[in-house]
Amino acid sequence: MPPERASSSALRRLGRRSRQASRNGPPPTEGTNAPPNPLWERIWQTITSIGILAGIYFTHDGLTYTARALETGNRTLDAALEAQITDRYTRAVEQLGSKTIETRIGGIYALTRTAKDSERDAETIQEVLCAYVQHRDFPEPETTKTDDQKEILIPKRPIRPDTDVMAALNSAVSLSKTTKDRPDFSTVRFPRADLSNLDLSRARLAYSDLAKSNLSASDLSETDLTRADLSGANLTNTNLTNADLTSTNLRDANLSHADLRKANLTGGLLKATLIATILDNADLSSADLSEANLFGARLRNADLHNADLSGSSLSSADLSGANLREANLTGVSMNGTNLKGADLRYVRGLTKTELGGAIVDDATRFSDPKLR
């Protein structure tokens, strides 16, 4: 018998004897009235202590074995789960390349589910879904031939992108709440697309082609639209709060009733319809707003420093507290415009006649006293 097993058996026998001894007590001394033998008492106490220590040792040994077994089991389980996640991810990505739209949609939803089950893979999956959208460009406008065989573009009303593209777009945006990363759709081309009533908040759409697209009632708050082409786009009732519209092309866009509070429109081309648009605290410094229709728009405390507003309509607009320093106001219509507390110092092209229909107060600032 190996020494370890022999010593273990001996300890167990010693433990049993000590427990039996503790129950029976020390052997009786001779005579009924004989005093207890101190030597026997010390022996039994020692045996009892050894038995208790042996029990503690074996309990600790058992607990240690159990802990190691649990640790090994957890490692095995983690490895199995990791392998399962990898397999699910691989199969889902393969589905994205399928020729059938149903299979592609299944792959998109499988990836979304995988991202929710494995948070550390969510960022990678979000990037895959964004790339899927970026490489599914909107189809070119249809063409037809005239009698002289010249091809011309057929005007098309905005249509919804394919179901798989919409699924990938929505999933990528929803995953941003987990990853905290902005979904990146930069340079995507969706001219004449119907993107209405979508949540695109915090998305990156810089340099994207969204000309003549329908984005009405969509959430574009905190969206990066730097240098995007939104010419002719429908942005009515769109949420653009805190959006970055630096150098964005908004020529002929319709932003009626849109919310652009605290939006950055620096250097943007805004020959657009902005009827009743909310532009409170918006940064419109150096923006091209020439010939823009701002009838009834709200521009409270907006920054219009050095902006070009020539030929625009500001009738019934609220520009109270706005900064219009050095702005070009040549030919501006200001019938009923609220300019209380506005800064009109060093403006260009504004005449007393044009200002006659506006509402000013003592807080309105002019550099030319003749305008007051």
- Is residue 151 within a helix (H) or strand (E), and if so which, with residue range? strand 151-153
Backbone angles phi, psi at 83, to 5 degrees: -65, -40
Helices (H), the chain: 3-24, 38-96, 101-117, 122-134, 163-179, 352-355
Question: What is the model's pLDDT at position 364?
Answer: 94
Q: Cβ–Cβ contacts within 10 Å for residue 68, how many?
A: 10
3-state secondary structure of 197: coil
d(CA 171, CA 217) in angstroms, rounded, equals 19
Question: What is the model's pLDDT at position 48?
Answer: 75
Give a three-class secondary structure readout of 155-182. CCCCECCCHHHHHHHHHHHHHHHHHCCC
Among the listed residues 208, 202, 78, 88, the one whose alpha carbon sits nearest the alpha carbon of residue 137: 208
237 and 216 Cβ atoms separated by less than 8 Å: yes
C-alpha of 272 from chain center: 29
d(CA 217, CA 271) in angstroms, rounded, equals 21
- pLDDT tens, 117-126? 888 889 999 9
Residues of the chain with pLDDT under 50: 3-7, 11, 31, 152, 154
d(CA 53, CA 98) in angstroms, rounded, equals 68
d(CA 249, CA 255) in angstroms, rounded, equals 13
d(CA 283, CA 242) in angstroms, rounded, equals 10
d(CA 124, CA 235) in angstroms, rounded, equals 31
Question: What is the model's pLDDT at position 1?
Answer: 52
> Which value, in Å, is the radius of gyration of the alpha carbons in the chain?
39
d(CA 254, CA 213) in angstroms, rounded, equals 11
Angle (nearest 5°) at CA 85 between 82 and 90: 125
Q: Cβ–Cβ contacts within 10 Å for residue 252, how many?
A: 15
Question: What is the model's pLDDT at position 273?
Answer: 83
d(CA 321, CA 71) in angstroms, rounded, equals 66
Report DSSP state, residue 145: E
135 and 161 Cβ atoms separated by less than 8 Å: no
194 and 169 Cβ atoms separated by less than 8 Å: no
d(CA 42, CA 45) in angstroms, rounded, equals 5
Lookup result for tokens 């652009």: 260
pTM over 0.75: no
